[in-house]
Chain A
Amino acid sequence: MRRDLIIGMAGSGGDGIVSAGESLTAACATEGYHAMMTKSFGSQIRGGESSCRVRLAIDPVLNPGGALDVAVALNWEDFLKFGAELPVGGNTVVIYDSATGVPTDKLPLTGVVPDEVFAVPIGEMARKSAGTDKAKNTIVLGLLSGWFGIVREGVMKGLRKKLAKKGPELLAANERAFQAGIEYAAAHPLRTSRLMEKPEKPGVKLLTDGNDICAAAAVFSGCQFFGGYPITPSTEVMQFLTREIWKYGGAVLQAEDEIAGVGAALGASFAGKKSMTATSGPGMSLKTEVIGLASIAELPLVIVNVQRGGPSTGMPTKSEQSDLFQAVYSAHGDVVRPVLAPTSVSDTFDVTVEAFNLAEKYQTPVIVLSDQEIAQRKEVIDPIDTSRFQVIDRLRPTAAELEAGYDRFKLTDSGISPISHPGMKGGNYLGAGIEHTEHGEPTASGAMHARMTEKRFRKFDPLRERKDLFRIEGDADAPLALIAWGSIAGVCREALALARAERLRVKLLVPYLLYPIAEGVYRRFFESVKAGLVVEQSHQGHLYRILRTQLDLPKGLRPFCRTGANPFRPSEVVDTLRDAVLEMQRRVEDTQQPQE
């Protein structure tokens, strides 16, 4: 019995293949599977090629996986457009519509012969069972359910829920189509059974994506203001909050531009409310000046950047990890601000709550670097126990402090000064982008500028000691290492398991805190490391380069990078790691060769 199944499906937008993927994923949730669904589209707004991958498993799903176990092509032209996003391997079962006229031994796939191939009259079955070939996607669900023994009840439940309002006829038609698929599968069994195990305990599961859970985390953290501007792939954060935030005394402003969005959010923070904005690369470029203002005015602000391919418009619907330099360095003046990155839908919650906490605690902008993959993929995850999170509020001046003559930017040992807000009697001060004294008066004094700059850096010292913002997995004293952040960390987690199964002695470091660099954490991690990879989905390898500027890295540690929209597979990470080991061994041999 299988514990893990990767399904990839493609068709034209009208085929509703993504809708089928969503039904499948939702059904996984009701039946207690873990699942992850990613979508991919052509550039047309509607009707172009579209695809989805659904990976379902008994255990939590770490990444969308590599080669497909099941490939579904409603037409080949659309399927092939997705190339590496829907890789067919030697173990894949291929299912396609026989109406495409492609013989089963002449599949338009280069260099690979799939394990089993089924040309199914999908369109015809849809017409016969449901009276319309629009029901092709429901036929596909029936086929998958039949062949892999999954989510029969869940799909039916989902259909009933989804179509409840649309009338009994449509529901009945879909039920017939689903049944037809199941029957076809029963009549044409797989050569080798690939039935999935049933989840032990169906238990409650959450179904959501990175953007929605990010927004929910904001509500949980007490966020009461969102200012933003629609931009793919981050917009769902704003959309969620426009539904929910009012209920908690908050407000959303869909601003006239990215600058106004972050400006309004900063205003709300100045007014004493927790606030956030969300955007993607081009929006980050525009928001940069106001983020700098938040740093010098020492105002809490959470900025979510859902990364996409860049520069400029780049690839709005594709994931990339190429905004780390921007997050860390895109400021004029001497400034540091925390940069956090989630690695999955589930930990996007943790990271967003942490971002609010850091923003409040250190009175600073905090950048959450999500990426398109995490933000827009649907995951079926275990419930999150919110009671384990502490929610921090900014340090406010006490009544006594206000009475004694309040200095907004008081130079304290910690570098953190109690912060007042309008409405607080005696807390009146001038917030400003201009350098200021402790009292908030503008100054051009070099000495004061030095003290204030030092204060704004010093306050982050404890953050560099936050080991809990890192995960180290694998053998603590392993000579091999993987370092990965963001969605790629999920790939490397699986790669770690594969490598250890091959008896490679390897460990994985996943930083949730990308900046400031927690030097101690890295140094201790590097102590045993002889070789390894920093795996990143960008051309330059931003984290690798930042680490090189701030730390002495083990000689054998090198970047393993590629640009966005080209997913990593766990197996190739292991292959590359093996190469790194060989290279290291050659180096050792070289030094041991007697010189002639």
Chain B
Amino acid sequence: MTSLPTFTAKDFKSDLKPIWCPGCGDFGVLQAMYRALAAIGRPSHEIAFISGIGCSSRIPGYTTAYGFNSVHGRALPIAQGIKLARPDLLVLAAGGDGDGFSIGGGHVPHAIRRNADLTYIVMDNQIYGLTKGQLSPTSAKGRKTVTSSYGSLESAVNPLLYVLAYGAPFVAQGTPADMAGLAAIIEEAIRYPGFAFVNVQSPCVTYGEEEQQVKAQKANMKSLASLKHDPTNLLAALDLARAYGTELYTGVFYKNPQPPSTMDGLVRERQNQLALNALPREKILDLFVQK
């Protein structure tokens, strides 16, 4: 048994009542977040939690952290701005599959290559819930929705392969069907010094299909640990990640054992190196003096 943490899950629960439908997977994700944050033990005012737009993007408001429920698809740029401006903060970004892999999809590779020390949690429900059930980038090919009346003609984005291919140093997947496991994954992701990505298969109770719901997940999910997967093996991780959409693997796909330098760390270093060369601010125009 471990020593007592300074914080409990309740310290991170705000008074705001979730607008989610009863039965939504995001309730479990939220609970897992509370648990993970309590385990991390940073006070809520040192945490910045950024999201975009979507059902799941409401999540920062349900925590006591400094939250920013921004605009569609832009959680990552804003989160990186915060982290680079204030490397001392714990920065979290979250959103849905549409937010992260459609409208904001272009930001993901760049967040990865910069490797700012932040955690990005995507609540992947393979549907647009907030706008009432349209096709999402992770919807399976052939899926019928209100915008794919005869079945989707497009293949789904594979979020796991996407981030692994761009070199994310920490990639994991969880589900609210295993809340303890999810809390542990989120905690590990936050503790990882670098860009950490967690895909959460968080079912939509209103527009999701039966086989996507928590009950079905419980029957189908397989933990990567039980498969004896070595999370430092990138090729094995890539191979397992290919099963996205057919198998529900939970746990850490990849964890770079030698965390690459983070951009916020490098920013600090550069600031320290160059600070000595600074003219006083009020003398900055001396740079233009022509002698």
Contact = CB atoms under 8 A, between A and B. Distances in A.
A30 B48 contact: no
24 contacts: A29-B290, A213-B285, A216-B285, A220-B282, A247-B274, A248-B281, A251-B267, A260-B76, A260-B77, A263-B77, A271-B89, A275-B81, A290-B71, A290-B74, A349-B285, A421-B66, A422-B47, A422-B66, A428-B65, A431-B66, A432-B68, A433-B71, A441-B16, A442-B58
A256 B107 contact: yes
Nearest to A349: B285
Contacts of B270: 246
Interface centre among B47, B65, B70, B85 (most CB of A within 10 A): B85
Given A206-B285, A266-B81, 15 more contacts: A26-B290, A207-B288, A253-B80, A263-B70, A267-B79, A267-B80, A268-B81, A271-B85, A422-B46, A425-B43, A427-B45, A432-B70, A433-B70, A441-B16, A442-B58
A289 B278 CA distance: 35
A213 B49 CA distance: 35
Interface string B63-90: 0111111110010111111111110110
Nearest to A31: B290
Contact of A267 (B78, B274, B290): B78
A220 to B, nearest CB: 5
Interface string A434-463: 100000011000000000000000000000
Contacts of B109: 256
B287 interface: yes
Interface of B: 14, 16, 43-48, 50, 53, 58, 60-61, 64-71, 74, 76-86, 88-89, 106-107, 109-110, 267, 270-271, 273-275, 277-279, 281-285, 287-291
Nearest to B60: A430
Interface of A: 26, 29-30, 204-208, 212-213, 216, 219-220, 222, 224-225, 227, 244, 246-251, 253, 255-257, 259-261, 263-273, 275, 289-290, 292-293, 297, 349, 380, 383-384, 386-387, 420-434, 441-442
A261 B78 CA distance: 9
Contacts of B284: 216, 219-220, 244, 386
A421 to B, nearest CB: 7
Chain A interface SS verdict (over half): mixed
A248 B110 contact: no
Contacts of A265: 81
A504 B53 CA distance: 59
A253 B86 contact: no
A208 B89 CA distance: 38
Given A255-B110, A275-B81, A422-B46, A216 B61 contact: no
Interface centre among B106, B275, B289 (most CB of A within 10 A): B289
B137 to A, nearest CB: 18
Nearest to A158: B290
Given A206-B289, A207-B288, A263-B74, A423 B86 contact: yes
Chain B interface SS verdict (over half): helix
B69 A434 contact: yes
A208 to B, nearest CB: 4
B73 to A, nearest CB: 8
Contact of B290 (A207, A260, A269, A289): A207
A428 B66 contact: yes
Contacts of B285: 206, 213, 216, 220, 349, 383-384, 386
B275 A247 contact: yes
B271 A205 contact: no
Contact of A225 (B43, B77, B84, B277): B84
A222 B66 contact: no
